[in-house]
Chains A and B, each alone.
Chain A
Amino acid sequence: MTTARLDAYRDVAPKGTIEFLRCLAARVRGRSFLHVNSARHGGGVAEILHRLVPLITELGVDARWEVIKGNPAFYTATKAFHNALQGREQTITSQMLDDYVSTNRACAERLSLEADLVLIHDPQPAPLIESRPTNGKWVWRCHIDLSSPQRRAWRLLRKYVSKYDAAIFSLPKFAQRLRIPQFLVYPSIDPLSDKNRELPKAEVDAILERLAVPRDKPTLLQVSRFDRFKDPIGVIDAYRIVKKHNDCRLVLAGGGADDDPEGAAVLTEVREAAGQDPDIHVLELPPNAHLEINALQRAATIVLQKSLREGFGLTVAEALWKGKPVVGGVAGGLAVQVIYELTGYTVNSVEGAAFRIRYLLNNPDLIAKMGNAGREYVRREFLITRHLSDYLTMLVLLTQ
């Protein structure tokens, strides 16, 4: 993966941003900033750290990124923990808890945890706080939806989180009752990554041809894993209502479901619901299909994210960045990104989604207008440059 230099963002970030970042960084030049998470590759956190850490370093801050590693039992335990914290029914055994804590203890001995500011990402490495050195501020960065966690799971995690100097959440509704300061930082997309960079029309055409998605009629797209919370069946139902009046295609694109038994079941249901309709395309894409997702989003007429439950939902920011209006559910961070009648529509039902899709298809000028508005909105609020300034500000405030 190649990483972009800060100056490469000059043409995509808001006016004056790069100079501003340099001035902000001058206040913390030479300080050390350590990030710790549980995976070097795969997942949104690793994706953004690959980009952020070199940019922080370029700005004169001594930035490092450490990763905790464990055996399969550790990953089983953290997966169960992760699911329970996001509100799913999940049993957490004493053995799982032991694996979770002992792995963190072993990692703490191996890793160098000295820094002026240490940002621990997500629940997996949270117990590292038990091994914090004397100096430095420790902040827990939560990327997941903690709005309705299983109480036992949260009680276990809370024991560690409450020992941090502060916590960061992506939305106010994810915040918890804690005695430490809780900050709000939205996640971000990288406009220069393969998933979001500009693509020539010929490249988009070639990728869609490879995916066997014709470009002969308006295309509706939902990019998400095959999960009931993303309501793919509801999306198909909405498409069928639209189809009575507006000829269009529907593309449902998501990650493979090999390691997720529930995902495989949902994928089967989706294929059954799609039936033999040649205008519905169900695409299983590998985790690294960034260019394919980029091309699909650029080729789409309207992007859907009809989730019933959602984290922040950065696929919406990705679509808005490509100038597409989004019809989305009222869940997680969707309402922060889908601004009603400006960047798209939030809807509460299949019928609502169908109505808004039809409305947009019959008002192409509005599609263009919302697309432009959405791109400018993302430029200001959801690009990596804004994320970078938030973290630098945290460094200024907490380590002064």
Chain B
Amino acid sequence: MAPVTGKEKSVRERAEMPFEFVGCIELRQMLGIRVETERQLANFLKLMPLDCVYYHTHGSLLRHRYRAGMYSNDFATWAAIEVRDRVLGERLAVLDPLDCETLTDLRDSIIAVIEDHLRPMTVVPRVVHGEPFSFIESHIVAVPTGVKVDSLVDFRRTLSEVEDSTVYYHALEARVRLKRKQNDFSAWLKDGLGLPGLAAKVKALDPYTGGLERVRGQILAYCDEVLAKGYDL
């Protein structure tokens, strides 16, 4: 039998504070504003509530990837697909929402990209054959699942079974709207189970290009690695 190390011991420990899985659901409120030009998009975005910015950026992860579109936020998808302005689509798509500390910062960044793009243009791109952009606001309702775990084995097993929105809630909602400094998974793995290496790997995951299922799959793979090795990454 291999000698027990400090790291291995920490993996097998039970956390004092269990991790409670919480799912969520989104209700979409249409704000009654539809725009047809990129200029209107920027101008109206300035007036929209922050929950609208949230819906069209982070919130796209709650939708099936087909409906969310190929870009990482609705503004990029609309510019590229409906207006057929791929350049603006690409510029907006590369914005990383988690680089912005607040939704106000994120909104300012989006508007800055659009205005910078329009500055040298003499004709403002507009929808000709496509659909106008409809501003929508997100209302998120948290749904506690009642499932609490206090070990990595149970955490891994439960994470593999929960509904997608649970991954979303802990990975994004907690960080963006509830303003926690990191996602719930990495916080608990670090503080609850004493696994800073695993926590750092989980914190670094990018949901915007691979989607929630990829995030879940990668967390499970990291957990498997730790459980197989018997110590932190």
> Whole-angstrom distance between the alpha carbons of A393 and B26 in the complex?
8
> Whole-angstrom distance between the alpha carbons of A175 and B143 in the complex?
28
> Whole-angstrom distance between the alpha carbons of A397 and B51 in the complex?
15
- Whether B28 pairs with A381 at a CB distance below 8 angstroms is no
Measured between beta carbons, the chain A residues less than 8 angstroms from B146 are 23
Knowing A20-B145, A20-B165, A23-B143 are in contact, say whether A173-B27 is a contact too (CB < 8 A): no
> Whole-angstrom distance between the alpha carbons of A377 and B65 in the complex?
9
Knowing A16-B162, A19-B163 are in contact, say whether A183-B64 is a contact too (CB < 8 A): no
Measured between beta carbons, the chain A residues less than 8 angstroms from B67 are 336, 339, 377, 381
- Whether B25 pairs with A175 at a CB distance below 8 angstroms is no
Measured between beta carbons, the chain B residues less than 8 angstroms from A16 are 23, 161-164, 166
Knowing A175-B30, A393-B27 are in contact, say whether A20-B163 is a contact too (CB < 8 A): yes
> Whole-angstrom distance between the alpha carbons of A175 and B134 in the complex?
10
Q: Does B191 belong to the interface (CB within 8 Å)?
A: no
B66 → chain A, closest Cβ, in Å? Answer: 4
- Whether B30 pairs with A182 at a CB distance below 8 angstroms is yes
Measured between beta carbons, the chain A residues less than 8 angstroms from B144 are 23
- Whether B25 pairs with A24 at a CB distance below 8 angstroms is yes
> Whole-angstrom distance between the alpha carbons of A27 and B141 in the complex?
10
B146 → chain A, closest Cβ, in Å? Answer: 7
Number of A-B contacts (CB under 8 A): 86
Knowing A184-B136, A396-B141 are in contact, say whether A173-B131 is a contact too (CB < 8 A): yes
- Whether A393 pairs with B164 at a CB distance below 8 angstroms is no
- Whether A182 pairs with B32 at a CB distance below 8 angstroms is yes
Knowing A24-B25, A172-B136, A393-B27 are in contact, say whether A377-B34 is a contact too (CB < 8 A): no
- Whether B27 pairs with A390 at a CB distance below 8 angstroms is yes
- Whether B64 pairs with A377 at a CB distance below 8 angstroms is yes
Q: Residue on A with the closest CB to B25? A: A393
> Whole-angstrom distance between the alpha carbons of A124 and B164 in the complex?
38
Measured between beta carbons, the chain B residues less than 8 angstroms from A381 are 63-64, 67
Q: Does B43 belong to the interface (CB within 8 Å)?
A: no
Q: Residue on A with the closest CB to B147? A: A19
Measured between beta carbons, the chain A residues less than 8 angstroms from B66 are 339, 342-343, 373, 377
Q: Which of B29, B131, B145 contacts A19 (CB 8 A)?
A: B145
> Whole-angstrom distance between the alpha carbons of A293 and B141 in the complex?
38
Q: Does A394 belong to the interface (CB within 8 Å)?
A: yes
Knowing A19-B145, A23-B146 are in contact, say whether A181-B29 is a contact too (CB < 8 A): yes
Q: Residue on B with the closest CB to A400? A: B141
- Whether A183 pairs with B145 at a CB distance below 8 angstroms is no
Knowing A182-B30, A183-B27 are in contact, say whether A173-B64 is a contact too (CB < 8 A): no
Interface centre among B64, B139, B144, B164 (most CB of A within 10 A): B64
Residues of chain B from 146 to 200 with CB closer than 8 A to chain A in the complex: 146, 161-166
- Whether B134 pairs with A172 at a CB distance below 8 angstroms is yes
- Whether B161 pairs with A27 at a CB distance below 8 angstroms is no
Q: Residue on A with the closest CB to B139? A: A397
> Whole-angstrom distance between the alpha carbons of A389 and B141 in the complex?
11
Knowing A177-B32, A178-B32, A343-B66 are in contact, say whether A14-B27 is a contact too (CB < 8 A): no
Measured between beta carbons, the chain B residues less than 8 angstroms from A15 are 161, 163-164
A 14-36 to B, binary, CB cutoff 8 A, 1 in contact else 0? 11110110011001000000000
Q: Does A309 belong to the interface (CB within 8 Å)?
A: no
A137 → chain B, closest Cβ, in Å? Answer: 14
Q: Does A348 belong to the interface (CB within 8 Å)?
A: yes
Q: Does A169 belong to the interface (CB within 8 Å)?
A: yes
Q: Residue on A with the closest CB to B166? A: A16
Measured between beta carbons, the chain A residues less than 8 angstroms from B23 are 16, 20, 23-24
13 A-B pairs in the complex with CB atoms less than 8 angstroms apart: A14-B163, A16-B23, A16-B162, A20-B25, A23-B145, A24-B25, A24-B141, A172-B30, A172-B134, A173-B134, A183-B29, A184-B28, A380-B64
Known: A20-B143, A173-B131. 16 other contacts (CB 8 A): A23-B144, A23-B145, A24-B143, A27-B143, A169-B30, A173-B34, A182-B30, A183-B27, A183-B28, A184-B30, A336-B67, A339-B67, A343-B66, A381-B63, A393-B26, A394-B27
Residues of A participating in the B interface, judged by any CB pair closer than 8 Å:
14-17, 19-20, 23-24, 27, 169, 172-173, 175-178, 181-185, 335-336, 339, 342-343, 348, 373, 377, 380-381, 389-390, 393-394, 396-397
